[in-house]
Homo-oligomer: A and B are copies of this chain.
Amino acid sequence: MSLRHALLGLLADSPQTGYDLTKRFDQTLSGYAWSAGHSQIYPELKRMMGDGLVGVVDEGARGSKTYGITDEGRAELRRWMFSPVGDTPPRNEFVLRLFMLSSLDLADTRVLTENMAAASEQEVAELRQAISDIEKHTPADAGPGYARFAAEFGLRYFQLQADWARWVLSELEKHRDQPDS
Residues of A in contact with B (beta carbons under 8 Å apart): 2, 5-6, 8-9, 12-13, 28-35, 74, 77-78, 81-82, 85-104, 108, 112, 115-116, 119, 141, 143-144, 146, 149-150, 152-154, 156-157, 160, 163-164, 167-168, 171-172, 175, 179-181
Contacts and interface: CB of A to CB of B under 8 A. Distances in A.
Contacts of A172: 144
A33 B78 contact: no
Looking at chain A's contact residues, the main secondary structure is helix
B97 A81 contact: yes
B108 A78 contact: yes
A149 B104 CA distance: 14
22 contacts: A6-B96, A9-B103, A12-B100, A30-B89, A31-B90, A32-B95, A33-B95, A33-B96, A34-B90, A34-B92, A34-B95, A35-B89, A78-B103, A82-B115, A85-B93, A86-B93, A95-B150, A98-B153, A141-B181, A144-B171, A144-B175, A156-B163
A97 B97 CA distance: 25
Nearest to A145: B171
Contact of A150 (B2, B31, B35, B98): B98
Contact of A6 (B29, B94, B100): B100
B101 A149 contact: yes
A141 to B, nearest CB: 6
